[in-house]
Structure formats: structure tokens, C-alpha cells
Structure 1
């Protein structure tokens, strides 16, 4: 059986940034993904957010490593956010969590639509939203 896992920005950034506080944890999890039977998914919103964050904080040289990770084994499928996801994200966004990003809310809505409950992240909001952290 294939285990489906959503991949969040905090995890993706940590995998490619050795200066990230979660770098070691991210590599340990990434190696489990490589050795196991996982289907990894992320969104075009997460891809955009991660590319921007990595470029600003670490520079263009890290972007090549990031591209190799996306295309390597295990490959990460990029799911396009649907209008339905954007509409459903507003329900999450209006919750009184102070530092909740709209991108997180998009991810919650997309995960619900796809029937995903597991996520590779270091972001507490996914647990608060009822998802299982990998």
C-alpha cells in the first residue's frame, strides 16, 4: 500500500538548507521517504513559497539542489490548487490563529479535497488543523 504524504514549505526548505534548525530531522524523514513506499505531493502554492524563501535566504545556488530533489526519487507530484480550494481556504483563514498564512489554509483545503491526512512539516498549524505530522 502506498502512503500518501503532503509536503509543506517548512520541510522542503529544511531538506535543502543545512543552516535550517530542522535540517537533520528533515534529512532523516527524507531518507525514510526514499526507502519506503510513499507518494509525495505538494501544491503549486508551496512550490512558489519554497522557491521564493530559499532564493531569498540561501541564494540561487541552492535552487539547483531543490530542483534535483523535486525531480529525484522519490519524486514530488505538484498538485494545482483549484478554485474550490481557494474558496474553502477562507474558512480556515478566518480562524483566530494569529500567524496563520493563507498558503497554509490553501494546503489544508487541498489536503481535504485529496483525502490526505499526513504531512511532512515543521509547522504547528497543520497539527492544530487536525492533520498528522510525519
Structure 2
């Protein structure tokens, strides 16, 4: 089964001063090649922007290169995901989920992905699979 990698995990692996860096780097090293990691087009864009603005263009390019070299599948949002994301937004009016969060939840549900590499507490709030 695939594991989705969220923006916070990508960032924590790249940023040495991030409070989750060591845990993220260890997890990534232990699972790379054994766990089929996937991510989304919007997570890639969000991660690129975050790395570029906080760590510079070189870090953003290294991230992109990593995706290319590891051939990490980049899942693409579909129109049905936008509709499902809207329903998630309506179901959780008290949460501060981002647009990327909403669409990621919808895409994960559609594809049956229940495992996530993330440090974003919103994934705990939303819950997936049999925990839902």
C-alpha cells in the first residue's frame, strides 16, 4: 500500500533546523525503497514554494531532483476530488484545513490511501480508513 508524503514531511527532511528533521530523516531513510511513497501535484507546488521562500532556490531544486531520481509518483487532482474536498470543508467548519489539506484528503479517500507521512495534526483530525 502506498504512503502519501505531505508538505511538512518533505520540508522536515530538507530543513536541518526543523523540529522534526531528525525523526523525518530517519523515517524517510528507513522507508525509502521499501514503502511506495506518493505525493500530489499540489503538495509538490506547496513544498517547492515553502522550500524556495525559506531555504532558497537550491533547496527547492534539490527537492525536485529527489522526486525525479526516486520516481516518486505525483498524483493529480481530478474534478471529482474538488467536489469531495468541498464536502470535507462543509463537514469540518471548525477546522483550519488548507485547500491543499482538503484536496489531499479527498484524493486519498478516492484512491484508498490510508497511510501518510506527515507532521500536520489535521491528518489526525480528519482520520482515514477504518479510523474514520
How high is the TM-score relative to the length of structure 1?
0.88
Match of 1:16 in 2: 14
Distance apart, 1:35 and its partner CA: 5.1
- How do residues 1-134 of structure 1 correspond to structure 2 at under 5 angstroms? 3-34=1-32, 36=34, 38-73=35-70, 75-94=71-90, 95-131=92-128
| Count of aligned positions | 128
Find runs of 4+ consecutive structure 1 residues off by over 4 angstroms. Answer: none
Distance apart, 1:68 and its partner CA: 2.5
8 A contact 1:17–1:23 mirrored in 2: yes
Distance apart, 1:15 and its partner CA: 1.1
Give the SS at the match of 2:36: strand
RMSD over aligned CA atoms reads 1.5
Unaligned runs of at least 5 residues, structure 2: none
Deviates more, 1:109-118 or 1:38-47: 38-47
Unaligned runs of at least 5 residues, structure 1: none
Give the SS at the match of 1:66: helix
As a proportion of its length, which structure holds more strand?
A: 1
Distance apart, 1:99 and its partner CA: 2.0
